Structure 1
Amino acid sequence: MPQPIDVGSILGGRYKVTGRILASAEDDVILDGLDQVLNRPVSILVSAVENSANLTQSSREVAIGTRASNVSILDLGVQDNSTYLIAARTTPADLLDLVVPTEPPEDVYQEPFFTDTLSTEIFGKARDTAPAGGAYVYDDNSPVPPSAAVPNVSKERVQPAPAQPKASRPPRTAAVRSTPIPAAAVVPPLAAAAPAAAAPVAPAEAKVTLWDEDDYGFINEDHDDNYTDSRRPGTFPAELRGAGNHYAEPELLDDEDDEENAPRTGGRLLTGAIVAVLLIGALVFAFQHIGTLFDGSSNQAGDTTTAATTADPTQEKTSEAPAEPAPVAPVTSNITDITAYAAGVQNYSEAYYPRLADAFDGNKATYWPTVEFSNADFANLTDGINLVVELAEESTISSVTINQLAGTGGQFNILTNSKPEVAGATKIGGGSFSSPDFTLTAAPGVKAKYVIISFTELPKLQPFNTYPYGLKITEISVK
């Protein structure tokens, strides 16, 4: 039964079918294609009608990562009731694996909904089906058995330790001065209420030095009327009793007499003097050089005028350099194959001569192929394949671009000549295929009528029909 999708079809508005690779026993077809938007080769799998659901399911599993596969999926669609898969270049075996459905898993263990009691199962006890109310668990993660009573920690309060009394100055009274304070009197009442079981503390020797009467300079007359002191108001010194409320104001010092606190202006004066000297020197220097500048400019102007008047009139006219001709943009008029095969060997390129026009038609969806060879050295049939790009006229060449399909590796040289021959041609560069496009930038000033591309080693094709080496040139452009 012929497939509705075949060579020349356009899938998804961008993928063009360029070749047929193989068909399986179940009518699954693998095709060779080209992504016309990104200009890259792709592999296409068109499944049979009964395998369409399997292909769709497998593609989704590969896309989300649930199925392992070497296929890099680019697109999936349906056209003419056929499901097709667009993938990066890969082997037919990997593509055909996608039409085989994934076997459903058997006896997959389902995790229970409630998993908070997983630890009980780990330690040998069956997992609870529902959470059970347990006892309070402290912050140290040590569980309390249900039978244990939980203390009411909210009502317990820890009594703070009594604060130690601070040493303070005793009141300034005669009773304090005359009566020493025993050591037991300084014990706070809270400490006296300590449990009787505690060991009694031996009274320590007082470390406070009591003031005597001479340290105060005053006395409370309400408590001791017999106390007398020469420093009391009644015994004020006689030489000072006659002094009234008048007192001599302190003599103020003038700023001139206070040399120690007077502002120091000597440094400021010195700084100002230095700045003034520098400014004067700068002005003198500027005036001298400005005068020299004007004198030199006037002398220079006079010398120029004299030189202009004494110049030879015949030397005023200078010869102008000849203008270079404008570069000519290259226009490809034809491409021919001048490959020389060994004596007695059939010219295998004759069958593809009509398709050489596809190599410069401006459409990368068409290409010029060669026959497939068994090795990269042209199977000893020739030394190389030579294509001659003929330009409309001798032109300035800045770059040469080669677009190819499905080939990696190989080796080629790019030559220029005034005639369509390899003999006597000049090499301007070379390279190898590591991507679909190759561009050589020529050195400045390269001009030629013919551009020759000489392939000395074939690239490897993927995929291929019979042999893995050959050429598929989609476009050759010279700028």
Structure 2
Amino acid sequence: MSQPIDAGSVLGGRYQVTELILTSADGDLVLDGIDQVLNRPVSILLGSAENSSQLTASAREIANGARFAAMQVLDLGISGGRSYLVTNLADAADLLDLVIQTDAPYVEPFFTDTLGSEIFGVSRSTEPQTYADDEEYYEDLDAQEEGRPAMLGRLPEFNLNDQITGLKGRFARGRSSAGTPVADDSYDSHTAPSELLRQETEETGENNAVFPPAPAALPKVQRIPATPPTPVGEPVVTSTAALASAARSRGAGIGPDGQRNATTFPAAARDYAEAEEPYVDYEEEEAGEGRNKTMRLLVGAVLCIVLVVAVVFAFNALGPKAPGPVANSSPVGTTEGSSPGGSTAPVTTAKPVINGVTRLVPGNQGLNADTDGTLSRLIDGNPASIYRSYSFSTPKFGGLASNMVLVAELKKPSDVSKIELVGLNGSGGAFEIRVGKTDSLADSSEVSSGSFTGPTVTVPVPSGDNGGTGVQYVFVNVTELPKLASGGNNSRPYGLQIGEIKVS
């Protein structure tokens, strides 16, 4: 894989790289840069050594209109044996599509023909697979087909006449038990239906069918009734009457018809009585609720009055009081000591004046080095002259640095009470204001931190040794870039713009 291009590198003597956007698996780089001649942002695609020829061919196709693309070709060159393409601001995915060969011949995957040999150890064959016992297998199938009729012949025969005769016998027994006369015994249940039809034909004299010869006559079988006849003179006892008699013997109120008498109840229900509910006087209960509600209102009103009185008393007792006059025998701005001539000398403090501004980027001092020539605009007294940093796609300096510090050095150690940042063009981000007696950021003291919330940020500095007393250096530590309100673009919306740094 090729080495990455650092921010600040220049391609073709004209295009300066500001940020690395994407690196492909083949080593193709998608970069953001600035056209130093026309002062406009551009996108740069630096192809790998293997894809440089394809990148060149794609760029020429787009330039002469033979290929459509969502970008405009601005320049094409070679740097270090690798082709680079300069376009307007474009998406990284669209740029990487240019290094992919289009309409390439289809190559069948290698595993299509080698899968069989890799798994089974032999190459794929177009002949059908055969086995040594194929003939025996098909002979068994034929034998099974031929043996099916013989198997059907071994099934037991089903005599329909016997089944019909049994059903008729059951119906005859049912009618005899109910007192219905039974038909004459001249009818033989074992007579075949064909014989019966022959007898009917001889009686009517009509012969319209051909009948097979009648089988030999079967011996008559005497029918035995299913239930023995009831002896005359004995009462008929039914199941219902027997159950009723048994219930009466146990003392239950059961009638002769087997039903329970209407006046008889279960023994468990004779002593049952509903429980009496206590009487509740609802009118008296409602009156009690009304009295409780009135009492709650009175208690709440009294508590509110007590609370108001307590608040008024606390305000009068703890509120600020007007200070009384204080006598001061010594004049303002003088010390108790006296000069050799006998007169007192006033104590004067040097007014803070910024001598110069420098830039510090821990870990990547070369970042934004090209803008160091405009640092003097921060102290020229003109808020319209703005110091601008590079613009980035993320607020963390595009991943190239963790923070950037603007260091303002005062001419003399002075007492500082207020620091102002004027001419801001962004919102959000994060910064720290630190003061110190040396140019070391680690030895400085933090006095405030916040975000860029408007065109001007004012930071009061407390007094003291760790505050605004004897300050020699003021540090503006930008840890997160704000989003530019104007002058940025959609791909790199984060940057730093300051018109003035004022110390007083």
Which structure carries more relative contact order (alpha carbon 8 Å, separation 6+)? 1
TM-score (norm 1): 0.31
Higher share in helix: 2
